[in-house]
A and B are shown apart, each in its own frame.
Chain A
Amino acid sequence: MTSFLVRRILGAIVILILISLITFYLFYALPRDPARAFCGKICRPETLTLIRHNLGMDEPLFVQYWHWLSGIFMGREFTQFGACPAPCLGYSFATQEPVFSAIVDRFPVTLSLTLGASVVILSFGILTGMLAAWKVGQPLDKIASSTSVIGASLQIYFVGPLVVFAVVDTLGLLPRPSYVPFTEDPLTWFVHLLIPWVVLSIIFTANYTRMTRSQMLEQLAEDYVRTARAKGMSGRSVFFRFAWRGAMIPIITIFGVDLATLLGGAIITEQTFTLHGIGELAVRAVQNTDLPMLLGVTVVGAAAIVFLNIVVDVLYAFIDPRVRLS
């Protein structure tokens, strides 16, 4: 277990370094010059050089990358902003705020959105899928299977505003989506994020319903389930104790992939519900040619995905004893 974790974390670090390198390189492949943008409309060459120097852009590319990378662990000095203690991701070109604190401010929003939606999606999807498999071929199964297809074909920027209009503006059942820190007031946090979670789950649940249903049916046809019945186990305990375990493994696999989609899709979700999270930060960083912000957001986002996938792998081992983590 420990050696598995060490290996996975080392692997994750390599992945993150690669991602940051690629982002760094791609940024310079862009035809836009951030110093030029800073300089304004009337720009004298010497001002431009000064800005370049202040931004550290007059140094070779690999030196700049090295400064950025070492800043994360050791902090760095900026001529313009002064000391930036570790972990330092630099200062935003556009707003001059420290990138790290900007991300720390907004990360909880995206994380709440993603993890909360995941809980709703998984519990709802697995529940309906199990029900459909339990009542296979009966009306309940048909309803669950067909409504899930409709859900899967919807888009968040279509359903989101509709739900907000119906639930908030017309019926006044819930407050308009916004972010209140969990630590401040868990109940308000919950109530204000309920709509985004439910809307995300309408779209993503379908997959899990169908997958759980087909996996359960597949497991129920397995030899070991027949053995359990031949031993005299009741239908219910066969269903929930034996078949369930096997059905969860592919579900978790897909969930690991969907987590990345959810985090990546945060850009659209946050836009739809006017929440100020990482996604919004990323969009603005691209629009402003804001390299430090863009790098910071990309690396932190990637780190979150990689970390959550390690958690998923550990879950495997708990469900299936054949998966050895050593």
Chain B
Amino acid sequence: MTTVSWSSEPGTSRGPEPFLSVRDLSVRFSTEDGVVHAVDGLSFDVEKGTTLGIVGESGSGKSVTNLTILGLHDPAHTEVDGEIWLEDQELVGAGASTLEKLRGNRVAMIFQDPLTSLSPFHTIGRQIGEVYRKHKGASKKEARDRAIEMLERVGIPQPATRVDHYPHEFSGGMRQRAMIAMALVCDPDLLIADEPTTALDVTVQAQILDLLKDLQQQFGTTIILITHDLGVVANTADNVLVMYAGRAAERGTVREVLSKPSHPYTWGLLSSMPRLTSSVDMPLVPVRGTPPSLLNRPAGCAFHPRCDFPQLVGSDLCFTQRPDISPENGHGDACYLTLQQKRDIRTGDTKEQA
């Protein structure tokens, strides 16, 4: 079931119209064990030509959100509420053929594992070319030439011979380059990269991220980069959205979120990451506990079972009432702690660490 929501004024009073606007998105899967609330009341905007990094643990709803943008969820078992606006086009509840025309054309996607994500039965050239043929009505010859051009653009040597090779004949990094070539063949406005570097080794990771950055600068592509690696976000993104249990925990520019994080979950993520500037024997602090089951979410703030500070908030607000992200725009977080409390905790932290 897909619920169609209509809104006459998308993005009311929010200055310049964002390129992609997700409003109050909820995605629920019905499974044998019950209803999984994969995404719950998520809103975010992406400005044209910028990169949004979406960060979160596995199961935080980051991939589901982006599959929903393209309508790639299984419609039989999924219920989607809310709105997704791509400029002036509403995508929630859009028809199959509308979405087909959009996918690979205006909105393209790169996946985590380039080996399993490419068809083992077709040549790289054909897999790239068929997107071009489908959306631009190109002939076989034109599609092949375009595929060679794209392979060259993403830095694959000898593209004229590589075009006829199969994915298993490519190395991991080359496969991801081919995947990017395939995603960019129709010059999409929006590129969704779902953990594009997770399956690659570190040197190749950096190359792929550089490639994405270069291509963005050349063609002004808007990018959504899904990752669990804050280092990747720090290097590539303009804005960050931290997701927890299907909701936004914190949102802001990269600088704001990484240097002045204001949600206890973001603190946890940051302190579980090694820094070059800190001493070698300083222990990494993981976020204690495990991510919540989305079948059966904790009441109140979904993060409270893993949070160290609910007692600071006073009363039982954290246990009973779900916090919304505030303020509405700019750097915001979904936490009841006051600014002063956060500042105290942060300075205490730095004292302990120093």
Q: Indicate if the CB atoms of A232 and B105 lie closer than 8 Å.
A: yes
Q: How far, in whole Å, are A113 and B90 apart by their CA atoms in the complex?
A: 59
- The yes or no answer to B320 lying at the interface (CB within 8 A) is no
- The yes or no answer to B8 lying at the interface (CB within 8 A) is no
Q: Indicate if the CB atoms of A232 and B121 lie closer than 8 Å.
A: no
- The yes or no answer to A246 lying at the interface (CB within 8 A) is yes
Q: How far, in whole Å, are A159 and B168 apart by their CA atoms in the complex?
A: 47
| Chain A residues near B117 (CB-CB < 8 A) | 223-224, 226-227
Q: Indicate if the CB atoms of A227 and B121 lie closer than 8 Å.
A: no
| Chain A residues near B131 (CB-CB < 8 A) | 231-232
Q: How far, in whole Å, are A278 and B119 apart by their CA atoms in the complex?
A: 44
Q: Indicate if the CB atoms of A227 and B108 lie closer than 8 Å.
A: no
- The yes or no answer to A265 lying at the interface (CB within 8 A) is no
A60 CB, min distance to chain B CBs, angstroms:
55
Q: Assuming A233-B130, A319-B121, A320-B121, is B116 touching A224 (CB within 8 A)? A: yes
Q: Indicate if the CB atoms of B76 and A231 lie closer than 8 Å.
A: no
Q: Assuming A232-B135, A321-B166, is B120 touching A227 (CB within 8 A)? A: no
Q: How far, in whole Å, are A246 and B72 apart by their CA atoms in the complex?
A: 21
- The yes or no answer to A137 lying at the interface (CB within 8 A) is yes
| Chain A residues near B166 (CB-CB < 8 A) | 321-322
- The yes or no answer to B118 lying at the interface (CB within 8 A) is yes
- The yes or no answer to A245 lying at the interface (CB within 8 A) is yes
- The yes or no answer to B109 lying at the interface (CB within 8 A) is yes
Q: Indicate if the CB atoms of A224 and B134 lie closer than 8 Å.
A: no
Residue-wise, chain A 297-326 has the 8 Å CB interface mask toward B (1 for contact) of 000000000000000000000011110000
| Chain A residues near B116 (CB-CB < 8 A) | 222-224
Q: Which one of B45-53, B96-104, B324-332, B344-352 is at the A interface?
A: B96-104
Chain A residue nearest to B115 (CB atoms) is: A223
Q: Which of B96, B100, B121 contacts A321 (CB 8 A)?
A: B121
Residue-wise, chain A 230-249 has the 8 Å CB interface mask toward B (1 for contact) of 11111100000010011000
Q: How far, in whole Å, are A223 and B70 apart by their CA atoms in the complex?
A: 15
Q: How far, in whole Å, are A137 and B74 apart by their CA atoms in the complex?
A: 14
Q: Assuming A322-B166, A322-B168, is B101 touching A232 (CB within 8 A)? A: yes
- The yes or no answer to A228 lying at the interface (CB within 8 A) is yes
Q: Indicate if the CB atoms of B96 and A235 lie closer than 8 Å.
A: yes
Within 8 A of B (CB), among A111-136: none
Chain A residue nearest to B165 (CB atoms) is: A321
Q: Assuming A232-B102, A319-B121, A321-B120, is B111 touching A227 (CB within 8 A)? A: yes
Q: How far, in whole Å, are A234 and B134 apart by their CA atoms in the complex?
A: 10
Q: Assuming A230-B72, A235-B96, A321-B168, is B120 touching A224 (CB within 8 A)? A: yes
Q: Assuming A223-B117, A321-B120, A322-B166, is B100 touching A230 (CB within 8 A)? A: no
| Chain B residues near A232 (CB-CB < 8 A) | 100-105, 131, 134-135
Q: Assuming A232-B103, A233-B130, is B119 touching A227 (CB within 8 A)? A: yes
Q: How far, in whole Å, are A224 and B115 apart by their CA atoms in the complex?
A: 9
Q: Indicate if the CB atoms of A231 and B103 lie closer than 8 Å.
A: yes
B288 CB, min distance to chain A CBs, angstroms:
33
Within 8 A of B (CB), among A244-281: 245-246
Q: Indicate if the CB atoms of A233 and B119 lie closer than 8 Å.
A: no
| Chain A residues near B72 (CB-CB < 8 A) | 226, 229-230
Chain B residue nearest to A234 (CB atoms) is: B100
Chain A residue nearest to B179 (CB atoms) is: A227
B345 CB, min distance to chain A CBs, angstroms:
42
A321 CB, min distance to chain B CBs, angstroms:
5
Q: How far, in whole Å, are A140 and B116 apart by their CA atoms in the complex?
A: 31
Q: How far, in whole Å, are A71 and B308 apart by their CA atoms in the complex?
A: 89
Q: How far, in whole Å, are A99 and B111 apart by their CA atoms in the complex?
A: 63
- The yes or no answer to B113 lying at the interface (CB within 8 A) is yes
B29 CB, min distance to chain A CBs, angstroms:
14
Q: Indicate if the CB atoms of A245 and B121 lie closer than 8 Å.
A: yes
| Chain B residues near A137 (CB-CB < 8 A) | 76
Q: Indicate if the CB atoms of A230 and B108 lie closer than 8 Å.
A: yes
Q: How far, in whole Å, are A223 and B195 apart by their CA atoms in the complex?
A: 14
Chain B residue nearest to A225 (CB atoms) is: B119
24 example contacts (A-B, Cβ-Cβ < 8 A) are as follows A223-B113, A224-B118, A224-B119, A226-B72, A226-B111, A227-B111, A227-B118, A227-B119, A229-B72, A230-B70, A230-B109, A231-B103, A231-B104, A231-B108, A231-B131, A232-B103, A232-B105, A232-B134, A233-B134, A235-B96, A242-B119, A319-B121, A320-B120, A322-B120
Q: Which 10 A-B pairs have the closest CB atoms?
A: A231-B104, A232-B104, A232-B103, A223-B116, A245-B121, A230-B109, A224-B119, A223-B117, A321-B166, A227-B117
Q: A226-B117, A233-B130, A246-B120 are known contacts; what are 15 more A-B pairs with Cβ within 8 Å?
A: A223-B117, A224-B116, A224-B118, A226-B111, A227-B111, A229-B103, A231-B108, A233-B134, A234-B100, A235-B96, A319-B121, A321-B120, A321-B121, A321-B166, A322-B120
Spell out B's residues near A (CB within 8 Å).
70, 72, 76, 96, 100-105, 108-109, 111, 113, 116-121, 130-131, 134-135, 166, 168, 179, 182
Spell out A's residues near B (CB within 8 Å).
137, 222-224, 226-235, 242, 245-246, 319-322
